[in-house]
C-alpha cells in the first residue's frame, strides 16, 4: 500500500495546509472557551529579509486549563511600524474570532515600533479596546539590558578576539583541539560568543577561564601578543566577570520556559536584586565569598571597591527597570499570596472573599501543599470566590516574556534556510504551526475527507 501513497511536493504541501488548518480550527474552538487571553508579540527577519511577526496567544478556561499556542505568523513585506503591526494583529484576532474585550495583556520585545508612546503597537492596541490591558516589556529582554551595565569591554574584547583567532580559521582550530587533547585538558574547545544568544557570554567566559593556561601557551606558540594574560588586574577582572555572568546566566535560565506565571518570573528578579545587595555589602567589607573564581586570585590584589561599584551599577539597573511589573505588584500579591494579603489594603471587591478564604483552614492547607495553578483549579469555586477566580484567570493568562517567540524564530531559521528561501508565507506558517502546536490534528477526520487516487 505504501507505493500507492503520493509523495509529490504538491501533495505534501496540501497535506501541510490541511493539518495546519485543522489545528487552527481546533485552536479557535479552545480559545472560544477562554474568558481571558493575552498576546505575546515579537518580530524578526528571516533569511530572505522578510519581516516575520510572531503572535502567540495564551488563554485560560474557567476550569483553569491553559492554552498557549502560536496564533499566527505574519509575513510583512513592507514597513514594520507600530501601525503596521497593529493592523496585522487586528486582522489575526478577527481571523480567530477573538473578541477584543477578552484581551487582558500584551507582552512585546520592547522595540520602538512596539512600545512607542503615541504610535507604538501597544499604545494603539490599548486605545482600541475598552478595558485596561496589562502591558509588559519581555522580562528576559529587560534582564539582558540590565547586564549591559557591566561595562568591562576591555575584558570581553580580548576574550572574543582570542576565541575568534582560534576558531575562525580551520587550521588554527584543528591545531588547538589537537593541542588540548595532547595536554589532557578538561575541555576540547573554546566557545564562540554571540551577542544575541542569551547564555553565550557566561559560557564563553567560563570556558576561557578553564583553558587559560592552554590558550596562553597556544597563542604564544602562534606568535600572538598575550601579555594581558600576565596582567594580574586584567585576570582579576576576568575572574569577577566569570562569576557575575554565571549568576546572570542562572537567572536567565529561570526566566525561560513556557507557561510560567508572571508572579514567579518577578519573584526571580526580586531574589536576584537581594543577592546583588548582599554582594555589594560583602564586597564593601572586602569579602568575596560568593565569587568562587575571584576567590582563587590573590586576596591582596583584588580591588574590592571596584567590583562593589560594578555590582552597584548592575543593582541600580535592576531597580530602575521592571517598572511594568512593579506597577501591578499589589494585584500580583493578591493572586500569588491571598493568605498573606492585608485585607484592609485590598480593593473593595476582594475584601469579603479574602476574609472568607483566609478564615478557611482547609483552603489554607491546600494553598501550602499545592502549586498555585492546582490551588485555583481544584479548590477555589466560582460560586464562593467569583472575583478572586476572575482575578486569577487574568494573571494566569498573562505572558511575562516573549520566550515562545524567540523559540519559534530558532525553529524558523532551521526551516527557512537559503536552500528553502522560496518557501511561501502560507506554507511557512503552516509548517511552524504543526511543529510547535500541542493541539493535536484530527487525523481520522482528515482521512475521511480524502480519496485514494490509484493510477490504472
Top mean pLDDT of 49-53, 219-223, 225-229, 362-366 is at 362-366
User: Residue 57 domain-assigned?
Assistant: yes
Strand order, beta sheet including 51-60: 66-76, 51-60, 36-45, 103-108, 134-137
Q: Which of 30, 38, 137, 44 is nearest to 408 (CA)?
A: 44
Confidence grade of residue 351 (pLDDT, cut at 50, 70, 90): very high
Other C-beta atoms closer than 10 Å to the C-beta of 50 total: 15
Query: What's the Cα-to-Cα distance from 47 to each of 44, 56, 412, 419, rounded to whole Å?
Result: 10, 22, 9, 10
Q: Is 235 helix (H, G, I), strand (E, B) or coil?
A: helix
Give yes or no: residues 289 and 240 share one domain. Answer: yes
The residue from 293, 324, 355 where one domain ends is 324
| pLDDT at residue 50, as a whole number | 87
Of the chain, the percentage scoring pLDDT greater than 90 comes to 61
Residue 199 φ/ψ, nearest 5 degrees: -105, 5
Mean pLDDT (whole number) for 247-276: 92
Confidence grade of residue 244 (pLDDT, cut at 50, 70, 90): very high
Give me the chain's average pLDDT, please.
89
136, β-bridge pairs = 107
Of the chain, the percentage scoring pLDDT greater than 70 comes to 96
Q: Write out the three cell numbers for 149.
A: 551595565
Global confidence as pTM: 0.88
| pLDDT at residue 248, as a whole number | 94
Number of domains the chain contains? 3
User: Residue 454 domain-assigned?
Assistant: no
Give yes or no: residues 102 and 210 share one domain. Answer: no
User: Residue 455 domain-assigned?
Assistant: no
Contacts of 39 (CB under 8 A, 6+ apart): 55, 56, 57, 58, 71, 89, 103, 105, 106, 107, 399
Give yes or no: residues 113 and 30 share one domain. Answer: yes
Mean pLDDT (whole number) for 261-277: 95
Q: What is the DSSP track for 388-434? A: HHHHHHHHHT--S--HHHHHHHHHHHHHS-GGGTT--HHHHHHHHHH
For residue 7, give the DSSP letter: -
For residue 97, give the DSSP letter: T
Give yes or no: residues 314 and 354 share one domain. Answer: no
The residue from 277, 293, 324 where one domain ends is 324
Q: Are strands 103-108 and 66-76 parallel, antiparallel or unpaired?
A: unpaired
Give yes or no: residues 181 and 315 share one domain. Answer: yes
Give yes or no: residues 176 and 266 share one domain. Answer: yes
Give yes or no: residues 124 and 263 share one domain. Answer: no
Q: Summarize pLDDT for 59-90 with one digit per residue, the tens.
A: 999 999 999 999 999 998 888 899 999 999 99
Q: Are strands 134-137 and 51-60 parallel, antiparallel or unpaired?
A: unpaired
| pLDDT at residue 257, as a whole number | 83
Alpha-carbon gap, residue 324 to 141, rounded angstroms: 13
Give yes or no: residues 309 and 160 share one domain. Answer: yes
| pLDDT at residue 456, as a whole number | 45
**Between residues 117 and 334, which one has the greater pLDDT?**
334
The residue from 299, 324, 349 where one domain ends is 324
| pLDDT at residue 418, as a whole number | 82
Q: What is the DSSP track for 26-94? A: HHHHHHHT-SEEEEEEEEEE-TTS-EEEEEEEEEE-TT--EEEEEEEEEEE-S---HHHHHHHHHHHHH
Give yes or no: residues 258 and 307 share one domain. Answer: yes
Q: Which domain holds residue 234?
A: 146-324
**Any idea what the CATH number is for the domain that residue 73 is in?**
3.30.420
| pLDDT at residue 105, as a whole number | 94
| pLDDT at residue 337, as a whole number | 94
Cell 524564530 sits at which residue?
409
Q: Write out the three cell numbers for 92.
A: 489575526
Give yes or no: residues 286 and 350 share one domain. Answer: no
Q: Summarize pLDDT for 377-408 with one digit per residue, the tens.
A: 999 999 999 999 999 999 999 999 999 998 89
User: Residue 293 domain-assigned?
Assistant: yes
Q: Summarize pLDDT for 357-381 with one digit per residue, the tens.
A: 999 999 999 999 999 999 999 999 9
Confidence grade of residue 190 (pLDDT, cut at 50, 70, 90): confident
Give yes or no: residues 126 and 221 share one domain. Answer: no
User: Residue 406 domain-assigned?
Assistant: yes
User: Residue 280 domain-assigned?
Assistant: yes
Q: How many CA atoms lie within 13 A of 48 on its CB side?
A: 18
Is the pLDDT at 141 greater than 60? The verdict is yes
For residue 291, give the DSSP letter: -
- What angle separates helix 139-147 from helix 304-320, to the nearest 10 degrees? 150
Is the pLDDT at 210 greater than 60? The verdict is yes
Q: Write out the three cell numbers for 193.
A: 560568543
Alpha-carbon gap, residue 37 to 348, rounded angstroms: 25
User: Residue 453 domain-assigned?
Assistant: no
Least confident piece of the model among 95-109, 264-278, 431-445? 431-445
| pLDDT at residue 1, as a whole number | 46
Give yes or no: residues 67 and 171 share one domain. Answer: no
| pLDDT at residue 454, as a whole number | 54
User: Residue 387 domain-assigned?
Assistant: yes
Amino acid at each position: 500500500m505504501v507505493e500507492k501513497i503520493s509523495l509529490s511536493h504538491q501533495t505534501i504541501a496540501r497535506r501541510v495546509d490541511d493539518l495546519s488548518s485543522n489545528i487552527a480550527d481546533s485552536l479557535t474552538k479552545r480559545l472560544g472557551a477562554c474568558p481571558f487571553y493575552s498576546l505575546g508579540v515579537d518580530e524578526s527577519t528571516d533569511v530572505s529579509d522578510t519581516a516575520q511577526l510572531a503572535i502567540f496567544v495564551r488563554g485560560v478556561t474557567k476550569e483553569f486549563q491553559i492554552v498557549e499556542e502560536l496564533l499566527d505568523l505574519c509575513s510583512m513585506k513592507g514597513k514594520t511600524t507600530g501601525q503596521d503591526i497593529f493592523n496585522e494583529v487586528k486582522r489575526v484576532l478577527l481571523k480567530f474570532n477573538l473578541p477584543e474585550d477578552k484581551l487582558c495583556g500584551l507582552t512585546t520585545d520592547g522595540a520602538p515600533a512596539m512600545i512607542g508612546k503615541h504610535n507604538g503597537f501597544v499604545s494603539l492596541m490599548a486605545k482600541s479596546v475598552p478595558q485596561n490591558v496589562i502591558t509588559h516589556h519581555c522580562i528576559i529582554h529587560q534582564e539582558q539590558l540590565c547586564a549591559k551595565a557591566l561595562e568591562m569591554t576591555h575584558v570581553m574584547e580580548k576574550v572574543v578576539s582570542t576565541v575568534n583567532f582560534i576558531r575562525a580559521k580551520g587550521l588554527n582550530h584543528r591545531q588547538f583541539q589537537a593541542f588540548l587533547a595532547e595536554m589532557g585538558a578538561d575541555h576540547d574547545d573554546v566557545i564562540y560568543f554571540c551577542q544575541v544568544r542569551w547564555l553565550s557570554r557566561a559560557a564563553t567566559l567560563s570556558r576561557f577561564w578553564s583553558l587559560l593556561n592552554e590558550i596562553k601557551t597556544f597563542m604564544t606558540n602562534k606568535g600572538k601578543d598575550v601579555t594581558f594574560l600576565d596582567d594580574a588586574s586584567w585576570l582579576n577582572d576576568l575572574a569577577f566577570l566569570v562569576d557575575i555572568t554565571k549568576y546572570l546566566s542562572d537567572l536567565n535560565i529561570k526566566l525561560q520556559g513556557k507557561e510560567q506565571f508572571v508572579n514567579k518570573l518577578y519573584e526571580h528578579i526580586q531574589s536576584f536584586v537581594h543577592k546583588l545587595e548582599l554582594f555589594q555589602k560583602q564586597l564593601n567589607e572586602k569579602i568575596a565569598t560568593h565569587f568562587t573564581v575571584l576567590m582563587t586570585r590573590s586576596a591582596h590584589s583584588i580591588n574590592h571597591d571596584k567590583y562593589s561599584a560594578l555590582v552597584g551599577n548592575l543593582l541600580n539597573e535592576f531597580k530602575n527597570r521592571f517598572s511594568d511589573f512593579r506597577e501591578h505588584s499589589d494585584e500580583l500579591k493578591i493572586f500569588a499570596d491571598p493568605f498573606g494579603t492585608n485585607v484592609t489594603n485590598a480593593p473593595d471587591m476582594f475584601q469579603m472573599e479574602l476574609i472568607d478564604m483566609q478564615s478557611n483552614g482547609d483552603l489554607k492547607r491546600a494553598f501550602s501543599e499545592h502549586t498555585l495553578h492546582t490551588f485555583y483549579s481544584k479548590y477555589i469555586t466560582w460560586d464562593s470566590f467569583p472575583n478572586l477566580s476572575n482575578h486569577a484567570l487574568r494573571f494566569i493568562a498573562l505572558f511575562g516574556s516573549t520566550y515562545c517567540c524567540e523559540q519559534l524564530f530558532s525553529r524558523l531559521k532551521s526551516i527557512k534556510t537559503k536552500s528553502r528561501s522560496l518557501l511561501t508565507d502560507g506554507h511557512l506558517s503552516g509548517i511552524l504551526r504543526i511543529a510547535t502546536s500541542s493541539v493535536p490534528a484530527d487525523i481520522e477526520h482528515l482521512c475521511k475527507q480524502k480519496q485514494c487516487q490509484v493510477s490504472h
